[in-house]
Amino acid sequence: MKSEQNFGTRLLTIVKWFILLFFLLVALLPLVWLFINSFRSNLELQISSFGWPQKWLFSNYIKAMEMASLPRLFLNSVITSASAVALNIIVAAMAGFILSREFFKGRDTIYTVLTAGVLVPIIAFMVPYFSLISRSGIYNTLFALILVYASVNIPVSIFLVTSFMRSIPKELEEAAIIDGCSFTQRFTKIIFPLTQSGLVTAGTFCFIYSWNDFIMAMLLTSSIESRTIQLGIKFFSSQFITDYTTMFAAIILTIIPSVGAYMFLHNKIISGLTAGAVKG
Amino acid sequence: MTKKGLILLLTILMMMGTVLPVFAQGAAEATAPAKEIELRWASIWVGADSKAGPVAAIVEEFNAANAGKIKVVIEPQPDYNAYEQKVRTSLAAGIAPADIFTIKLNPTTAEFYNSNLLMDFSKVFTGSWKSSFEAGSVNQSTIGGKLKSLPFETAILPMWYNMDILAKVGVTKVPQTVDEFWSLMDKLKAAGITATSQMTGDTNAWTSMIWFSHFAVSLGGPDVWSKPFTDPAFVQAAEYIKRMIVNYSTADAIGLGAGGSGGHFLAGRTAVFSNGPWYAGRADLAATPFFKNITIAGLPGFGSTSNYMISRIQANICAAASKDAAREAAIVKFLQFLTSPEKVKSIAQPSGAMFAVKTDAKPANHLQVQFTQLANSVAVSAPDFEAAMGAEATKEFTQQLSALALGKITAQEFTKLVALKINQD
């Protein structure tokens, strides 16, 4: 009986590990493929997509760095994404505070109008954004991208932050008011700190969009000084020719910092995402 | 945080708004010397493009010769599809995308001629400048008496035959008749060799669109594109392209992009491929064992028209109109420099590309020689589907081509659906 139980447990463990390893392989294989092919020549890649490099071409990485000005573009991406997240969070938190904690006429209408932006496809904003940015004299600046990325994500951020703030007990604020908290202090000392998990989620959405965006960066910028990393990766494909292996090297170089940052910070990111998920 | 904190926060935000534009080194007007005219050129010939090096050298030479007076700044446009979207968006917003930029002139982009945003070159395009261009290309670029884009890069779009593969099935010359063509396809298939590199992906199903254009022009004549798209010539051409994709192409043809289509040919996996002269300048093509045995030719006459070729103006140069006469004069000065036979030759020779400007460029390899000979030998030429019908119709063509190849629609339905889009436009 006991040996049957042991067999069952072992079988379950094997199945569990098999499933986990399968998904691990599915997740890692594209990255491994990308990494190996970043050392091959284009001709090798065209002949066979799978295989070891005949000669490990480290020169692909040097070419990637030199051709696309990757360090500069990476810095631009960091500045743009971080600033857009900061701006987006500040605006969303202030709007969410008013929309969730204050009662006034038209509050629900304002909330609906603001969050309805989630339903409008980004491509519909291309002409108005281009027109506004160009005419306001900030075309081809990082500030234009920061403004647009922060704005595009306002609806989803307000939706998330407002919902999160509504779940905070009113009694906490009432106690603070009795203790002499002003209107501003209610926001800065009570609600804002308690909404950190919601803000992390909203900020993560905004960061992912800002980091991955290609269309707006292409539309609103025109020089290396204000372009982002996604445009750098595209630098290896022209109208008729794509230098795939150098592009793979560029992709590897651009994901190393993100992966590194995640390895150091993953505990904080996960705790931020899951905090508040269970009330106790 | 108290009121002081809130004021501090607002001050920081205002400072961000003021300081961040400092990153705008690209906003050139602010940094350029007062008297120097800076011209922004949204160039597609950058990065991996074979014309990137020579074009950059020409700009550098021009800037050196005009130091302190005119400075041309290349704004790299690395992704062509996104670049086209940017041009359309900016013109729709009533703003030129740059001082100088390129378009593919077709019925969609010809609409730009109605805009006051583009410079009309017709008054200054005279004398030796005009005579250095091929008259046919200039005529094609002149709409309603206005020349709002200069024809620059041109192309013929023939077939590329890997004669090493053909030799494996006992064929030593390219097919001259339709029977020889189908016989070749069947022999290759029987030998387990994939005959062609078809594709239905990207925004224009590029290589298969070229095949379709060959069939249509041969069946309906050089003016076939002026006929309704439901014409029997197009239906028959659709039947042929379906047959090519289903029976004589790689298994991944549906949804495949131009990179994949070319990749199959480069890897020696397919025997026949279609593309323009720019492909001849590729280093990886020159490194293939079959490079010396590639023959550039047309297709046999599938209809009443034979000895024809598909051709197009690949890139037209536009410039932003300006109220500042000095600025317009600077643009003309640069374009005259760029399109001078000597400079065009310096781009044509290393890249293999063809141009609307007459030069004495010497072909760099045997493929470029064949391109020139073929272009000079054909009796008649006609544009491809995309050049004739425009970008929107081509997107529809591409989407319906997949449905046709998958057997979801018939050739008649295919032409009706594409015709519907053409008529909408």
What is the reported pLDDT for A244? Answer: 86
What is the spatial distance between Cα B226 and Cα B234, in angstroms, rounded to a whole number?
12
Q: Are B294 and B405 within one domain?
A: yes
Asked if A146 contacts A152 with a C-beta cutoff of 8 angstroms, the reply is no
Say if residues A122 and B83 touch (Cβ distance below 8 Å).
Answer: no
* Bigger pLDDT: B411 vs B8: B411
Q: What is the pLDDT of residue A265?
A: 65
- B323 in a structural domain: yes
Pairing assessment for the beta strands B308-319 and B380-382 based on DSSP bridges? parallel
Chain A residues with CB inside 8 Å of B26's CB?
140-141, 221-226
Q: Which amino acid is at B65?
A: A
pLDDT band at B30 (very low <50, low <70, confident <90, very high): very low
Predicted confidence at residue A122, as pLDDT, reads 83
**Higher pLDDT residue, A236 or B142?**
B142
Task: Please check the confidence at residue B328 and state whether its pLDDT lies above 70.
Answer: yes
Going by pLDDT thresholds of 50, 70 and 90, the confidence category of residue B21 is very low
For residue B319, name the pLDDT band (cuts at 50, 70, 90): very high
Lowest mean pLDDT segment, chosen from B11-15, B241-245, B392-396: B11-15
Q: Report percent pLDDT > 90 for chain B.
A: 65
Whether B13 is in a domain gets the answer: no
- B91, closest residue in chain A (CA to CA): A127
Residues B63 and B167 placed together within one structural domain of the fold: no
Q: With 90 as the cut, is the pLDDT of residue A65 above it?
A: no
How far apart are the two ends of chain B, measured CA to CA in Å? 59
Taking only the tens place, the pLDDT of each residue in B209-234 is: 999 999 999 999 999 999 999 999 99
Q: Where are the domains of chain A?
A: 2-47, 69-235
Nearest CA in chain B to A219: B86
DSSP A223-253: SGGG--HHHHHHTTB-SS-B-HHHHHHHHHH
The average confidence (pLDDT) of chain B is 89
Q: Do B48 and A237 touch (CB under 8 A)?
A: yes
Q: Give the mean pLDDT of A124-140.
A: 91
pLDDT of B339 higher than 50: yes
Let me know the angle formed at the C-alpha of B391 by A223 and B347, rounded to the nearest 5 degrees.
50
Chain A interface test: which of B10, B23, B44, B316 (most A C-beta within 10 Å)? B23
Angle between helices A70-101 and A154-166 (to 10 degrees): 40
Poorest-pLDDT segment among A46-50, B47-51, B86-90, B314-318: A46-50
Give tens-digit pLDDT for A193-202: 998 888 988 9
Selecting from A127, A184, A225 the residue whose C-beta is nearest the C-beta of B3 gives A184
**pLDDT classification of A277: cutoffs 50, 70, 90:** very low
Q: Is the domain of B132 the same as that of B213?
A: no
Residues 185 through 224 of chain A touching chain B, CB cutoff 8 Å = 185, 187-189, 214-215, 218-219, 221-224
What integer pLDDT is reported at residue B27 of this predicted model? 45
Give the model's pLDDT for residue B34: 56
Question: Does one domain contain both B100 and B113?
Answer: yes
pLDDT in tens, A195-224: 888 898 899 889 989 988 988 999 999 888
Residues of chain A numbered 50-79 and touching chain B (CB < 8 Å): 67-68, 76, 79
Q: What is the pLDDT of residue B5?
A: 60
* Helix runs in B204-271, H state only: 206-220, 232-248, 258-266
Give the C-alpha separation, A172 to A189, whole Å: 11
Contact A140 B27 (CB under 8 A): yes
Check whether residue B237 and residue B302 sit in a common domain: yes
Q: Say whether pLDDT at A176 is over 80.
A: yes
Residue A46 pLDDT? 73
**Of B296, B321, B355, which closes a domain?**
B355
Where among B303, B328, B355 does a domain terminate?
A: B355
Inform me whether the pLDDT recorded for B3 exceeds 60.
Answer: no
Q: Supply A117's token pair.
A: 């932006």
Strands in B224-337 per DSSP E: 270-274, 294-297, 308-319
The whole-number pLDDT of residue A196 equals 86
Q: What is the pLDDT of residues B158-201, one digit of tens each?
A: 999 999 999 999 999 999 999 999 999 999 999 999 999 999 99
Q: What DSSP string runs through B77-93?
A: ---HHHHHHHHHHHHHT
Query: What is the domain range of residue B116?
Result: 31-155+313-355
The CA distance from B310 to B331, in Å, is 32
Question: Per-residue confidence at A278, pLDDT binned at 50, 70, 90?
Answer: very low
For B287-315, what is the mean pLDDT?
93
d(CA B102, CA B315): 6
Closest-CA residue in chain B for A72?
B23
**Which of A83, A215, A223 comes nearest B75 by C-beta?**
A223
* Nearest Cβ partner for A139 among B2, B27, B258: B27
Q: Is residue B235 part of a domain?
A: yes
> Number of folded domains in chain B?
2
**Same domain flag for B134 and B223:** no
| pLDDT higher at B404 or A3 | B404
pLDDT score for B329: 96
pLDDT at A279: 45
3-class DSSP assignment, residue B105:
coil
Query: If you average pLDDT over residues B54-64, what whole number do you get?
Result: 96
CB contact under 8 A, B287 and A215: no
The CATH number of the domain holding residue B38 is 3.40.190.10
Q: Which of B322, B355, B388 is the last residue of a domain?
A: B355
Q: Which of the 8 DSSP states describes residue B249?
A: B
Range of lowest pLDDT (A77-86, B6-15, B371-380):
B6-15
Domain at A69-235: CATH architecture: Orthogonal Bundle (1.10)
Predicted pLDDT at A249: 92
- Is the ipTM reported for this complex over the cut 0.85? no
B259 and B319 in a common domain: no
Q: Is there a single domain that holds both residue B267 and residue B169?
A: yes
Say if the Cβ atoms of A90 and B92 lie within 8 Å.
no
Burial class (CB in 10 A: 0-12, 13-18, 19+), B280: buried
